[in-house]
Amino acid sequence: MAISPCTSATGADGKELISHGTALFPIAVYDDDLLLESVPWHWHEEFEAAIVMEGAAVVAAGSQKHTVKAGNGFFINANVLHSAWNDGSSVCRLHSIVFHPRLPGGNPDSIIWQKYVQPLASDSALSFFVFGDDTDEQKTFLNTIGQVWDLCVNEPDGYELEVRSQLSKFLYRLGSRRPSRLIQPSEKELRESVRIKNMLEFIHLHYQEELNTNLIARSVSVSPSECLRCFHNTIGTTPIQYLKQYRIQKAVELLTGANKKIQDICLECGFQETSYFAKSFREIMGCTPSEYRKRQAKNQPELN
């Protein structure tokens, strides 16, 4: 299995659009360089687990945020809104695996799915878990992530069976610690989770238009102050800062895949002034739009 290319394509509701693996073997592995590009806020039906190979990454899921250093890892549950970015180190690489619950769980009418996989996937208390290297148990989690990643990359004979076995044990160990270690989220937290997804969907649908906090708040029938509080508590930023980040994300996609003038991309992504667009792009991406386009063109493989 080849290492899959990283992509940030999402739908209006923030759900990732790409498929991870195939229908027959729904798992994909990634080698993410967060120094080149952050992972924007998104969610997917699959489980995700990763190890930080170099540097340190800031990983956020729901209302939680942790700095994960090299050698440590994390797990993100299905359907959880999450993001990751470089913490400021000179290098930041992740080895991640993204797999559908049906890979270890089988069909929904199987005992494996009903007894072990579905209860974990639907447990809103276990949205995000960080693995250190200070206990044997956590080292076991890290070893499994690394072994599955290597198996998928190298594809030894029978690797599909071993991957499924390893992931089944991984989920069983996670699930077995749920009752004593996890606290169920409150109704308020669940309500905020729904609200933030709906507000993000509104932004994703209308990012090309003139937006402000009042309009974003009105989309879910809350006050501007409640909107600000919800964004701060859930994803740690303001609605307008998130809007700017999302516009830059869309600009990156256009700079990479379309031969459009930078001024046209600026307007298409909701920026009214090219100077503010360039300033915002440098603030988030560390370079100007033209520099980013040149860098991407240089990294494209030559066609024979």
> Mean pLDDT, the chain, as a whole number?
85
Q: Which is more confident, 156 or 293?
A: 156
Do 70 and 177 sit in the same domain of this protein?
Answer: yes
Do 282 and 196 sit in the same domain of this protein?
Answer: yes
Q: In angstroms, what CA-CA distances link 218 with 63, 199, 214?
A: 22, 9, 6
- Domain range for residue 244? 187-299
Whole-number pLDDT of residue 151? 96
Whole-number pLDDT of residue 2? 56
Q: Average pLDDT in the 235-261 region? A: 84
Do 194 and 277 sit in the same domain of this protein?
Answer: yes
Would you say residue 254 lies in a domain? yes
pLDDT reading at 96 higher than 90: yes
Token digits of residue 255: 């700079």
Would you say residue 238 lies in a domain? yes
Cα–Cα nearest to 69, from 77, 59, 61: 59
Do 271 and 246 sit in the same domain of this protein?
Answer: yes
Do 153 and 74 sit in the same domain of this protein?
Answer: yes
CATH number for the domain including 45? 2.60.120.280
Would you say residue 52 lies in a domain? yes
Do 125 and 173 sit in the same domain of this protein?
Answer: yes
Domain total for the chain? 2
Would you say residue 18 lies in a domain? no
Whole-number pLDDT of residue 304? 42
Would you say residue 21 lies in a domain? no
Final residue in a domain of this structure, among 181, 210, 230: 181
Would you say residue 8 lies in a domain? no
Q: Identify the weakest region by mean pLDDT among 1-5, 41-45, 165-169, 262-266.
A: 1-5
Would you say residue 20 lies in a domain? no
Whole-number pLDDT of residue 158? 95
Do 31 and 175 sit in the same domain of this protein?
Answer: yes
CATH number for the domain including 226? 1.10.10.60
Do 111 and 252 sit in the same domain of this protein?
Answer: no
Residue 197 confidence class, pLDDT cut points 50, 70, 90 = confident
Do 153 and 286 sit in the same domain of this protein?
Answer: no
Do 161 and 46 sit in the same domain of this protein?
Answer: yes
Final residue in a domain of this structure, among 131, 157, 181: 181
Whole-number pLDDT of residue 182? 45
User: How many whole angstroms separate alpha carbon 39 and alpha carbon 95?
Assistant: 13
Do 159 and 196 sit in the same domain of this protein?
Answer: no
Do 145 and 213 sit in the same domain of this protein?
Answer: no
* Alpha-carbon dihedral angle through residues 201, 202, 207, 213, given to the nearest 10 degrees: -120
Q: Average pLDDT in the 28-37 region? A: 88
Would you say residue 304 lies in a domain? no
Final residue in a domain of this structure, among 181, 215, 233: 181
